[in-house]
Amino acid sequence: MELKTISENLQIGKAKIVKELCQQALDEGIPAKTILSEGLLDGMNIIGEKFKNNEIFVPEVLIAARAMNMGVAVLKPHLLEEGVKATGKVCIGTVKGDLHDIGKNLVKMMMEGKGLEVIDLGTDVAPETFVQTAIEQGCKVICCSALLTTTMGVMGEVVKAVEAAGKKGEIKVMIGGAPVTEEFRNQIGADAYTSDATSAAEKAVEFCA
Amino acid sequence: MAKKITLLDGAVGTGLWEIAEKNGVKKVPVWIYNLEQPDFVRSLHRAYLEAGSEMILSNTFGANAPSVARASSYDPDTVVETGVRLAKEAAEGTSVPVALAAGPLSQLMEPWGDLTEEEVRDTYLRHFESGMKAGADCVMLQTFIDMEMMRVAAEAAKEFGVPVFCTLTFEKVGKTIMGNSVKDVIDCLTPIGIDGIGMNCSLGPDLAVPVIKEFAEKTSLPIVFKPNAGKPILAADGTGSASYDAEAFVRDILPALPYVDMIGGCCGSNADYIRALREAVKAYEKTN
């Protein structure tokens, strides 16, 4: 079968069909790794590009991500069997004092769409939790989200906590959210600021390479 | 007949943080100030009234019950009631109405999120009931990204028999992040019998003008426009500084005046902006 069909169905959010097609592709003897990259991740790449360009919006991303997750669930045991590793490991969360997770969830979806393993720490995450998780789980990147100008200062504390743990440079800190800017990134000394979910995922892949 | 534009107020959230910062008080979710620093809230309202605001918004934007319960041990009804009461006190002796402000909830509604329509409706009914009890004159729903959530909120607000104004926040392409276009929003909200529609926050005035123009072209409802002051420049700890420019704000907003019926400022604006805006609006009204 053409793996492009999986990608196309994923893009229009046909979760059940994506799941069936993934199974069918496995049955045809196509390696899970190939199905993942040429079917699922290909579809999410296109979704990411379109979202970045304002051609599609949050609902389309959500249904595509749901379809991807259904497909990944089918592939997972086979990926493990084939010894396929994620392209990298990151942890993500909305910083302490902030409960807004719509943006954070979008970034997570885009990152998973790039084949990254993402540990979701949820909302209201303390700086030490970010750092501790990254060290214990071997994450190369910490991703911090904030929607409030009152909470974005916590991102600076995350940068300091990484330094205090002696992991500066080794664990990168990425920041994003509506009030966050490149100037702000520069002021707090974070490793990267990205303005949208797709760019965040691309940057994280770069850091994990 | 000369056109009359109603002058709204400027930012309440960033305005209160500005006052908190000057007074060396910790920046917290601003609805907490209703109970802990009521003088800050009253003085901000007064500053807007002195600057010429003809309608002021209560400090209740994010004070919905789930958020208040998550972030504090305060009673959500008291937070909202006090917010409206402080605005009413500031406006005492004037004819300036107080709009009960409400923003979106922090989660998405079904099918995109977990909130059911009923939960959303109950949350807003409670918010409005508290605000109305304290004497709010109308309702201003602001910064929504999902017109469906706004529909539920506006329907709930309309049950109180007061004017209801609806503003959403748009991306540069003229759609909300949920993908709602200006036309979608008008079609969805007009049947509810709302009293004004438009946009707030999101973009600085220059980028927002095309969206406001589109609203004016597609509906006969009064148009509400409350753009951001522009992108704030923040200090390393996230504190705001006065890195905005009231003159640039007014200059950028002028092209929108032919389209709007109610105008003010959102994040980053303060009484200086409203004062400058008042002069521009006056001058416009004289010549049109």
- Structural domains of chain A ordered from first start: 3-81 (1.10.1240.10), 89-208 (3.40.50.280)
CB contact under 8 A, A187 and B235: yes
Confirm whether B128 is domain-assigned.
Answer: yes
B56 - beta bridge partners?
A: B98
Confirm whether B149 is domain-assigned.
Answer: yes
Contacts of B215 (CB under 8 A, 6+ apart): B182, B186, B197, B198, B199, B223, B259
Residue B82, chain A, CB below 8 Å: the answer is: no
Residues B13-43 have pLDDT tens digits of 889 988 998 999 987 889 999 999 999 999 9
CB contact under 8 A, B237 and A62: no
Instruction: Identify each DSSP E strand in chain A by its residue range.
Output: 89-94, 117-120, 141-145, 172-176, 192-193
As to burial, measured by CB atoms within 10 angstroms (0-12 exposed, 13-18 middle, 19+ buried), residue B256 is buried
Give the CATH number of the domain where residue B83 resides: 3.20.20.330
Q: Which residues of B touch A56 (CB under 8 A)?
A: 179
pLDDT band at residue B185 using 50, 70 and 90 as cut-offs: very high
CB contact under 8 A, A58 and B106: no
- Cβ atoms of A90 and A142 within 8 Å: the answer is yes
Cα B76 from chain centroid (whole Å): 19
Report the first-to-last Cα separation within chain B, whole angstroms: 8
- Cβ atoms of A148 and A97 within 8 Å: the answer is yes
CA–CA separation, B261 and B252 (whole Å): 17
| DSSP H or E run through B101 | strand B98-102
Query: Domain range spanning residue B187?
Result: 6-287
Confirm whether B1 is domain-assigned.
Answer: no
Nearest CA in chain B to A100: B106
Q: What φ, ψ does residue B283 adopt, rounded to 5°?
A: -65, -40
Q: How many domains does chain B have?
A: 1
CA–CA separation, B220 and A53 (whole Å): 31
CB contact under 8 A, A188 and B236: yes
Contacts of A163 (CB under 8 A, 6+ apart): none
Of all residues in chain B, what percent carry a pLDDT higher than 90?
77
Residue B67, chain A, CB below 8 Å: the answer is: yes
Instruction: Return averaged pLDDT per consecutive 10 residues of chain A, 209 residues in all.
Output: 96 97 98 96 95 93 94 95 92 88 91 95 95 98 88 93 97 93 92 94 96
Confirm whether B38 is domain-assigned.
Answer: yes
Q: Which two tokens stand for residue A67?
A: 């379809």
For chain A, helix (H) and strand (E) counts, in that order, are: 10, 5
Interface residues on A facing B, Cβ-Cβ cutoff 8 A: 54, 56-60, 62, 99-102, 148-156, 179, 181, 183-184, 187-188
Q: Half-sphere exposure of B163 toward its Cβ, with a 13 Å CA cutoff?
A: 13
What is the reported pTM? 0.86
pLDDT in the model for residue B242 = 41
What distance in Å separates residue A29's CA from the closest CA in chain B?
A: 35
CA–CA separation, B253 and B264 (whole Å): 10
Which of B31, B70, B112 should we substitute to test contact with A (largest number of A Cβ atoms within 10 Å)?
B112
Q: Which residues of B touch A188 (CB under 8 A)?
A: 236
